[in-house]
Structure 1
C-alpha cells in the first residue's frame, strides 16, 4: 500500500476554500432558515411541529443519504458525487422557493438534505484522501473556520431577508450558493481519491467494510464525540428562534445578531483548536474542550432551572459550549475517518448518519416540548437540553477519546484496514 500523500494536488488555499464551501452548506441550509421559521409557520397557517419537521426531516435525509453517497464516492471518486449532489442541491433549493404548501416545502427540503449529504460527506473524505491524520485535523479546523464565517452571516442575512422580502428570499440565497459551489467544483476541483475501490459497491464488500468500521473503537470514540457535540448545537439551533423571539421578545434582527455572535465564538474555537493541537495533541485537546463544555452546559441548565430566564443567562454560558464545539468538531470529524484511508467515504457516511439520526430525534423531542404560539413559551427545552448533552459530551471526551483516541500517528498505521476492504496488499 502506498502511503498517504503529504501534499495535495491542489493548492492548500483552494482546498481550504472548497472545504469551507462544502462544509458550510450545512449551517447555511439550517441557520439562514431559522429566523424565517415563525413567519413561515404563520404564512402557511401550519402547526409548530410541521415547521420543525422541515428542519428535522432535512437533517434525517442528510444523514441517511450519506450511507449511499459514501460507498459511491469510494467507488467512483469524490468529483462525480460532488457534481451530482451540488446540482441536486441547487435544484431542490430553487424548488423550495416556489413551494405552494408546507407539504411541498417539506418535500423539497428532504431532497435538499439528501443532496447536502454528498457535499459534506465528500468534504470529510477529501481531508483523509489528501492528508495524514495529524495534518488532517488541522486542515479540518481551517475548513470549519470557513464554515463558521458562513454561519456568522447566515442568521443575520436570513433575518434581514425574512424581514424585508419574506421567507422565500431567504431560501433563494441557498439556490445561488449551491450553484456557485457547483461551478467551483466543476472548474477547479481535481479528484482527490487516488485509487477508487472497484469493489466498494458489492453488497458483501460493503457489509465487510461497514462491519470493520463499526467494530473499530477509535471510530466510535470520535463519532460519538461529534454526534453528542452536534446534538447540543442542534438543540440550540432548533429551539433558539422560538425561545429568543417568542419567549424573550427579541426581534428577528436582534436574534440574527445573537446567532452572529455565537458563530464568531465558534470560529474562535476552531482557531484555538489548531493552537491546542500543536501543544497538547488530540486527546488532551479534546479533554480541555470537554471541561469547557461541561462548565457552559451546567451553567445554562442551572440558571434556567433557577428561573433566570434572560438572553444573557443563556448566551454567556453558551459561548463556552460553542467555543468547545469548535474544538470537538475538527478533532472528531478527522478522527472518525483517520483509521480508514481507503474507505474514508464510507466512514464519513456512517459518522454523518449517526450525527443526523440523533439530531432528528432531538428535533422530534423539541417539537413536542415547544408550545404553539406565544402562550406558554419557555426557555427550559433549550436550557435543559443543553445541560443533558453537555454531560454526555464530557463523558465521551474524558473516557472513550482518552482510551481509544490514539489515531494521529502510529495508531493510524496499526489500524490500517485497506487489505480488508478490497485493495491488494503491497
Structure 2
C-alpha cells in the first residue's frame, strides 16, 4: 500500500543508515583478518586486494540494476530479496576453502549489498522534500558513521577470539537483522501510479539521458571522487596499521574512530546548515574543507613519516569536509530526475563504487608503501573534485545567462 503519512524522520534516518551500513561493515570488518586469510588460504597481496576490488565492482554494477528495479517494482520488495541474498553470500564467504571461492562470494556480497545504499536514499527522497530531505540524509550520515567506527573493532575481536571465518558469520547475522528491521519498519514509499516501466529500452533511454546530462554527470563524478580521497586510506588501512604505525589487529580504531568523528561532525554541520545555506553553498564549504585537509596532509608527511596523531588528523578533517558536501551533492543530482530517483541514486552510487574499485585495484598497491604518496594521492583526488565543481558552476552560470 502507498504511504499515507511518512514515518518519523529519525526512524527513516535510522532505517536508511542501517541499509547503508552494510557497505562499510562488509568493507571494514574483515580488514584486521587480512594476514590470517592470506595465510590460511595461501593468498598473495594481490589476491587480498581482489577481495576488495571485486566486491566493489559487483556492488557498483548491481546498483545500476537496483535503481530501475526499485523504480518499477517498488522499494520494499527489492531490498528484502537483496538482504536475503547478502546473508547467503556472507555464509558462503565463511565456508570458503580457497581464495577464488572467497573472491566469488565477496562479489556476491557486493551484488546484494548495493540495494541498501541505492534504495535507502531513494526511499528517503520519496518521503521528504527540500531542506527536510537534506536534513534526513545528513542524519543518515550521522547514524551511518557508527559502521566504520565499530566495524574494524568488532572484526579485530572476532579475529583474535574465533578466527576470520567468524567475521563473515557475523556479517550474515547482521544482514538478517537488517532484513527483520526492513520487514517491520519500512513501508512502500513509491505508489503504483508513480512507478516506471521495467522495459530494457526505457531503462536504457533513462540512463542515456542521465549520462548525457552534463550537470548530473559532474555532480555524480564529484559524489564518487570525494569519497575516493577517504577510501584511499580505508583500503590502505592494513598497511597503515600493521606496517607504518606498527600496531596490531585491535588497533584499527586508531584510524577509524577519528575518521568517523570527522564524518559525524560534517553530517551534523550539514543538517544544521540545511535551512541556512543553499545546497551548492554547502558543497562549496565542504570542498574547501577537504582541499585544506588534503593540503595539510601533504605538508605533514613531507618531512618523513609522522606519528599516529599527525598522520590521522588530516584524514579525519578530510572526512568532515566530505560528509558536509555529500548530502547536498546527492540531492542536487536526484532532483534533476525526479521521476527516476532510484536510477539517479544508482548512478551516483555506481560512480562512487567504481572510483573505490579503481583505487582498491590499482592505486593502493602503488601508493600504500609511503605515507607521503598516500597524501599526494588524496590531494590529487581533491583537486580533481575542485575542477569538476568549477565546471558545474560554469555550466550553471551559462544556463542562468541563457
State the TM bucket, normalised to the shorter chain.
over 0.9
Corresponding residue number in structure 2 for 1:126: 123
Corresponding residue number in structure 2 for 1:390: 382
Which residue, out of 173, 179, 182, partners 2:179?
182
Whether 1:260 and 2:252 are equivalent positions in the alignment is no
Contact 1:61/1:111 (8 A) holds in 2: yes
Contact 2:59/2:112 (8 A) holds in 1: yes
Cα shift at 1:196? 5.5
CA distance, structure 2, for counterparts of residue 124 and residue 354 of structure 1 = 15
The 5 Å alignment of 1:377-416 reads 377-400=369-392, 404=396
CA distance, structure 1, for counterparts of residue 5 and residue 44 of structure 2 = 49
Cα shift at 1:197? 5.6
CA RMSD of aligned residues (A): 2.2
Contact 2:269/2:324 (8 A) holds in 1: yes
Whether 1:366 and 2:363 are equivalent positions in the alignment is yes
Provide, for residues 299-345 of structure 1, a one-character-per-residue CA deviation record: whole Å limited to 9, x for no partner: 21233343244322321211210111111221222222122222111
Residue-pair matches, total: 397
- Unpaired runs of 5+ residues, structure 2, are none
Corresponding residue number in structure 2 for 1:231: 228
CA distance, structure 2, for counterparts of residue 84 and residue 274 of structure 1 = 32
Give the direction of change, closer, same or farther, for the CA distance of 1:133–1:8 in structure 2 (3 Å limit): farther
CA distance, structure 2, for counterparts of residue 366 and residue 239 of structure 1 = 10
Q: With structure 1 as the length reference, what TM-score do the two structures score?
A: 0.87
Aligned with 1:360: secondary structure? helix
Corresponding residue number in structure 2 for 1:173: 170
Corresponding residue number in structure 2 for 1:318: 315
CA distance, structure 2, for counterparts of residue 380 and residue 98 of structure 1 = 39
Corresponding residue number in structure 2 for 1:374: none
Contact 2:34/2:48 (8 A) holds in 1: yes
The 5 Å alignment of 1:339-350 reads 339-350=336-347
Give the direction of change, closer, same or farther, for the CA distance of 1:271–1:212 in structure 2 (3 Å limit): same
Contact 2:152/2:253 (8 A) holds in 1: yes
CA distance, structure 2, for counterparts of residue 325 and residue 394 of structure 1 = 12
Provide, for residues 19-75 of structure 1, a one-character-per-residue CA deviation record: whole Å limited to 9, x for no partner: 110111111111212222233222222110111110111011000001111111111
Q: With structure 2 as the length reference, what TM-score do the two structures score?
A: 0.92
- Unpaired runs of 5+ residues, structure 1, are 372-376, 406-410, 412-426
CA distance, structure 2, for counterparts of residue 133 and residue 217 of structure 1 = 22
Cα shift at 1:269? 1.1
Larger mean Cα displacement after TM superposition, 324-333 or 304-313: 304-313
Whether 1:241 and 2:238 are equivalent positions in the alignment is yes
CA distance, structure 1, for counterparts of residue 194 and residue 390 of structure 2 = 36
Cα shift at 1:403? 5.1
CA distance, structure 1, for counterparts of residue 370 and residue 39 of structure 2 = 19
CA distance, structure 2, for counterparts of residue 198 and residue 153 of structure 1 = 37
CA distance, structure 2, for counterparts of residue 166 and residue 361 of structure 1 = 29
Give the direction of change, closer, same or farther, for the CA distance of 1:395–1:38 in structure 2 (3 Å limit): farther
CA distance, structure 1, for counterparts of residue 309 and residue 394 of structure 2 = 33
Contact 1:96/1:105 (8 A) holds in 2: yes
Contact 1:63/1:352 (8 A) holds in 2: yes
CA distance, structure 2, for counterparts of residue 259 and residue 76 of structure 1 = 37
Cα shift at 1:188? 2.2
CA distance, structure 2, for counterparts of residue 380 and residue 365 of structure 1 = 17
Runs of 4+ with deviation above 6 angstroms: none
CA distance, structure 1, for counterparts of residue 345 and residue 162 of structure 2 = 38
Cα shift at 1:191? 0.3
Contact 1:16/1:142 (8 A) holds in 2: yes
Whether 1:210 and 2:202 are equivalent positions in the alignment is no
Aligned with 1:193: secondary structure? coil
Corresponding residue number in structure 2 for 1:418: none
Aligned with 1:250: secondary structure? coil
The 5 Å alignment of 1:263-342 reads 263-342=260-339
Contact 1:69/1:349 (8 A) holds in 2: yes
Provide, for residues 256-296 of structure 1, a one-character-per-residue CA deviation record: whole Å limited to 9, x for no partner: 23312211221111001112232222111111111111111
Which residue, out of 73, 76, 90, partners 1:76?
73
Contact 1:70/1:345 (8 A) holds in 2: yes
